[in-house]
Chain A
Amino acid sequence: MVTAEAVAATVTDPELPMLTLADLGVLRSVSEEDGRVVVAITPTYTGCPAMDTMRDDLEHALVSAGYPDVEIRTQLTPAWSSDWISSAGRQKLAAAGIAPPGAAPLRSGPIPLTLSAPVSRVSCPLCGSPDTEEQSRFGATACKALRRCRSCLEPFEHVKEI
């Protein structure tokens, strides 16, 4: 029988189906307590509407694999960071045309206000050019921004650093 952890690790994200929840860093732990499988997940964004689907998908996968007693717990601390996306996850994102995030900003003291777009460190996932610009900090899902490549002129999505 496949371990519960291995089963949970195969479940993919509903919005970024090329990534597993483990790649994304949303899957925090899988443990067994008295025959019950306890899975802890952390939301990427507070209002992420995909959380319920993630729960259902995890439960369905585990029940189908022979673990009838499953409990999915929300774990709020520590808050999810884009730094938790695994290196395999980053490669999968880039292969799907989505630029992976850079390092999340470190916080200490009052957060400075950014009045201009930060210097771009995001390369185009399609042609590799480093010459890209931010078009909107908010994209089709809470976790992505919209960018455009100045070399190949293609628009692309970028997972935001948080």
Chain B
Amino acid sequence: MPSVVKLFGALGSSASAVVKCSGAMTASPEPAIEFRNVSYAPHGASEILRDFNLAIHRGETLVLLGRSGSGKTTSLKLINNLVSPTSGTVMVEGRSTADWDVIRLRRMIGYVIQEIGLFPHFTVQRNIALIPNLERWSPERVNARVRELLSLVGLDPQLASRYPRELSGGQRQRVGVARALGADPPILLMDEPFGALDPITRTELQREFLSLQERLRKTVVFVTHDVREALLLADRIALMESGRLTALYTPQEFKLSKDPLISAYLESAATDVNADGRGTP
């Protein structure tokens, strides 16, 4: 199981860097997403993002790591144009988000948030089928897609007729991921998707994410403040601090870095492991 290799690799051995870099290297030269000198300040308020430059390759998992208020979530929302840059441009598939038809843009970008935001009045089936239905797929095609996605995220097809409130937190987040993958978008944005889950479920979902990404090779931008999650899932880690990109490393480089800020992150992770006993294989 490659995902297991990745899992253990990220936690200690050095095998992971080799496995992971191969994904990034085979990506086509033009980045899937690119931030060019992007700044963002909400009306009159101080800047949340300052002169932000970052290219995200096709098929890689890029983790935006940073503490709360560092601008991670804002960067994510700039990609699907939930917010627009004050200056600079965000390029998605070679076109500025300002030039994209915003609905077309968003429909090719899956979006998963921590609060999940499943529609409480829709069954699991309708939630997952949201975008396919809006895109007017035939009912047979929608049904087949929903079944495919349910098994992809490890859910019993019988759950299709349930309502979100009848599911556990882990199941809901799985549905959230399935919904984001609904119309097979090439890009996936994930904003602390596993943050609200209990540690065991979180580990389970992180592991499944890895094996899923192994198969799908989407361009994933993943926001987290959890350095262990970043090390585990990332092809590259973009470290953010007060609205700036301060470092861009592979997990391997990240762990070897002498940067005091990174050391602080790694230390906090180490004490965390000792505190709750997780993460040691």
Judge: A and B partners, yes or no.
Answer: no
